[in-house]
Amino acid sequence: MACKKLGSKADAFQRQGQAWFCTTGLPSDIIVEVSEMSFHLHKFPLLSKSALLEKLIEESSDEEDGCVVKLCDMPGGDKAFELVAKFCYGVKFELTASNVVFLRCAAEYLQMTEEIAEGNLIAQTEIFLSQIVLRGWKDSIKVLQTCDNLLPHAENLQIIKRCIDSLAVKACTDPNLFGWPMMEHGAMQSPGGSVLWNGISTGARPRNCSSDWWYEEASSLSLPLYKRLISVMESRGIRQEVVAGSVTSYAKKYLPGISRRHSLAPVALTAAPSEEEQRRLLEEIVGLLPLQKGVTSTKILFGLLRTGMILRANPTCISNLEKRIGLQLDQANLEDLLLPNFSYSMETLYNIDCVQRILEHFLAMDQAADGASPNLVDDEQLIGSPSLAPITTVAKLIDGYLAEVAPDINLKLPKFQNLAGAVPDYARPLDDGLYRAIDIYLKAHPWLNEAEREQLCRLMDCQKLSLEACTHAAQNERLPLRVVVQVLFFEQLQLRTSIAGCLLVSDNLDVSRPLRSGLVGSGDGGGWASAVRENQVLKEGMDSMRMRVYELEKECTSMRQEIEKLGRGKSKWSSVSKKFGFKLKSQMCSAQEESVSDHQQTGSSTIEKLPAKLTKHKQQLSTDA
């Protein structure tokens, strides 16, 4: 810390209880009372430096009980006047960043101007402030910290403004250009390791400094001064990312519950701010955060939102945070979304309504940013288009969140449906995640009737289930019968498409065989053998899929026979098939069998043995499931 020595005489002051005495050998002829302290001094050294004391001494000279001067409004109190008295007597003391504000305000109050004496205290403190303190970052911070107790006087003397302007200039300037704050920390070193005392470069290279070098020290300021500092920095064009980083650092220091990691940290020995103080601090910090999307970490925003819910922040603050999070929801993870429900009703374990509002903000932003109609976007464009990647990420995130909250028995069906249905259909290339969440919800809510189960299952599209999900759904007893039949139907379509593709690949390999045999010499036998192996693998996969199709067709026929046995007759069966949403005629299964039979005649001889291996295949299917 920078300092300046004033005075040359030895210390001649001695304290006895609540009184200070000057031990110069002369009896005191004036008593100055400041706060609860009394100073027994001499008139001449005081009136020769202070116009105010000269006036007060003249007014109290006629009193019979001696000259007593009371300074009730003395800035800095008795500690400041002690240093003023030493200055008047010429006693040695140090002028530092910790006491210069007290002395500057006290000198102004006591009218210690150059008209009274040359080199008076006002001039000395002003020189120290402008030429030493304001040139250094740490000293300027220290001066601002001492201004909290002297805000009216320090504000009138422009001390706060000058310090904040100085700090803002340093923070907005590239530190690698001028050397601060490295020169204050002694980071300018020569190749030999000795510190350069004058800053002149002799081959030394200053260490690179990142833009966050001032965060920690700036966070030591009180909130009003910190807000003024950030405001001046923004007016000077500082980058929004830097402002967001500084505000985040400030929030982490004074709001320990902003993140789960910090909440587990040991509690400091200092007195924690009250709940009301933390609430006001949170609301002020949210107002300081830049509005630009992406400059503030999503995890920090969720931490502020969680803390705001705990502290019962005002609805405007909560809504502001929800909107900020919604604009960058694609950057969140599942842990961030798991916001506990702090309401007194405790309907659900997690605050699902808050997540619903956040999702709505994201969808509103996404629709405003994308002018194209989402209904015209197919799955291939969805996967390959970078502009649609955020909505796909959010859909996957919401599906994971639904699976996480689904086991809550207090979660009502309409609330689950509203959140799941809020995600557009085009945002989900596959509905596997949604199916998983629905299955978990059905398992945790076994009391749902058939109508409610069907209503819930309408959220997913059976055509967008993967083959693995279809296999699981076909054997899922919790799903309604209508959904199971739809899954079986679309699974057969997927398998037929896959088989057709494999047959096409197989035919292409068979056609290319004579060409390869005519073009490839004897030295390429290894490559031909590899192609033969690949062909064999494809045929085996094709055989496996054919067996699966055959098995599904058998299951379909068996289900039809079981339904007919219930006495509904052929007319009942047609009504059931209409309820399923597609025409499930008896000719479909037989036609599929004939189609498979046609493929079997052109395939390998292993297909002819399918009836004999059907039992074994069922066991394998149950094991795989």
Percent of the chain with pLDDT over 90: 45
Cα of 17 vs its chain's centroid, Å: 55
Tell whether the model's pLDDT for residue 186 goes beyond 80. no
Quick check: 325 and 305 in contact, CB under 8 A? yes
- Cα–Cα distances (Å) from 474 to 429, 435, 576, 583, in that order, read 20, 12, 18, 19
Q: Report the CATH number of the 3-131 domain.
A: 3.30.710.10
Tell whether the model's pLDDT for residue 345 goes beyond 60. yes
Return the closest-CA partner of residue 76 out of 97, 103, 49. Answer: 103
Question: Residue 68 pairs with which residues in a beta bridge?
Answer: 31
Tell whether the model's pLDDT for residue 104 goes beyond 70. yes
Residues 6+ apart with CB under 8 A from 285: 247, 250, 251, 255, 304
E strand or H helix at 541, and its extent? helix 525-563
How is the chain split into domains, by residue range? 3-131, 239-265+275-327, 337-460, 481-512+538-624
How much is the pLDDT for 126? 95
Q: What is the mean pLDDT of residues 616-624?
A: 40
Least confident of 154-168, 403-417, 461-475, 572-586: 572-586
How much is the pLDDT for 410? 92
- Residue 557 has phi, psi (to 5 degrees) of -65, -40
Tell whether the model's pLDDT for residue 619 goes beyond 50. no
Residue predicted with more confidence, 499 or 289? 289
Tell whether the model's pLDDT for residue 58 goes beyond 90. no
Return the closest-CA partner of residue 492 out of 596, 611, 340, 407. Answer: 596
pLDDT tens digits, one per residue of 538-597: 666 666 666 776 776 777 777 777 767 765 544 444 444 444 443 333 333 343 444 334
Q: In terms of pTM, does the model score above 0.75?
A: no
3-state secondary structure (DSSP) of residue 6: strand
How much is the pLDDT for 79? 92
Q: What is the mean pLDDT of residues 116-122?
A: 93
